[in-house]
Amino acid sequence: MKNKKLWKYFFIIPVIIYVILLIALPLIYILIISFFQSDYYGGMISTFTLQNYIDIFDQVYINVFLKSIFVAGVTTLICILISYPFVLAISHKKPATQKILMTLVMVPFLTNSLIRMYGWLVLLRKSGVINQVLLGVGVIQEPLSLMYNMFGILIGMVYTLLPFMVLPLYSSVSTVDPQLLEAANDLGASKIKTFFKIILPQTLPGLFNGSLMVFTPALGYFFIVDILGGGKIMILGNLIKNQFLTARNWPFGAAISIVLVLITSLVIFAYRKLGGKMEDLGGA
């Protein structure tokens, strides 16, 4: 008995070391230096100050927060609107077809996302493929501004994060008994009513899980904003990156990071309060 228990711990040890070394310790470090003071030369003075947190309430930074939440929110919404019909459509297909289609969703992951962003440049820029085709066909006279603006950022975000919505939604939708949909139809419900009364409530955990997995990284994916936003738009990710790497104000960057972690935690907390189960989050 005792031996068996020891063995169990033995296999958990790598995970524990991983979590402590790469997640817990850096987070504690960030928390600590967020109360330090920057010495304006890239170094830090180890005191205790709340100044970094107070600075965040500057209108400039509040706007960055709001814009980030807007970008992440719209990205999540678009991902939901694309994923639900897709997932519902493939859930009626044969199991083999479902597997192939889901694999196709995963294929982009095989390429580095930074490289894929440069791929979008080729498509979206003024002299890019899309504009060339539209000009050639005569649909437009002037090339469209498809990037270096909010539109470009949203395309990049949705494109990169879509699989994180599709996967949890798919696993959630595939647990809905098809007979329930037939029963609803039999009892007089239209397709739309069936969706809102039967499918949506049952797939809410998957929807929330997916939203969390899209919303959270969307707040911080600075490289998408850098490449497709052309440096004109700033979200939290860029702000933090700039504080650490450009302005070299580590304490302030740390403070913003902590606020970001708090926002995410708050969302999860709200989910639990609303009756969601944490197992459902990990379930996908």
Partner 1 sequence: MSKIVLKIDHLRRSFGDKEVIKDFDLEVYEGEFLTLLGSSGCGKTTILRAIAGLDSVTEGHIYIDGKDVTSLDPKFREVNTIFQNYALFPLMTVEENIAFGLKMKKVDQQEIKKRVQEMLTLVHLEGYEKRKPRELSGGEQQRVSIARALINNPKVLLLDEPLSALDQKLRTKMQLELKGLQRKLGITFVYVTHSQDEALTMSDRIVLLKDGKIEQADTPIKIYEHPNSLYTAQFLGDSNLFQGVVTKVDVKYAWVKLEDAMFKVFSNQLQVDMPVDVIIRPENIKLSLKKKSDSVFEGKIVDSIYDGASTQLIIRTGQREIRAMLFGNDKEYVKGQEIFVTWDIEDVILFKRDTDEK
| 180 near partner 1 (CB under 8 A) | yes
Q: Does 95 bind partner 1 (CB under 8 A)?
A: no
Distance of alpha carbon 126 from alpha carbon 32, whole angstroms: 46
Quick check: 202 binds partner 1 (CB under 8 A)? Answer: yes
Under the criterion CB under 8 A, does residue 15 sit at the interface with partner 1?
A: no
- Pick from 25, 27, 81, 177: which binds partner 1 (CB under 8 A)? 177
What whole-number distance in Å separates Cα of residue 71 and Cα of residue 149? 12
What's the min distance (Å) between Cβ of 198 and partner 1? 6
Of the candidate spans 55-63, 188-196, 216-224, 258-266, the one that interacts with partner 1 by CB under 8 A turns out to be 188-196
Distance between CA atoms of 202 and 195, rounded to whole angstroms?
10
Contacts of 4 (CB under 8 A, 6+ apart): none
**H-type helices in the chain, by residue range?**
2-19, 25-33, 51-56, 59-90, 95-106, 113-124, 129-137, 150-173, 178-186, 191-194, 200-220, 222-228, 236-241, 250-273, 278-282
101, 121, 130, 189: which one binds partner 1 (CB under 8 A):
189
Q: Determine the interface stretch with partner 1 among 54-62, 117-125, 189-197, 217-225 (rule: CB under 8 A).
A: 189-197
Note whether 279 binds partner 1 by CB under 8 A. no
Span of 16-24, 71-79, 158-166, 178-186 interacting with partner 1 by CB under 8 A: 178-186
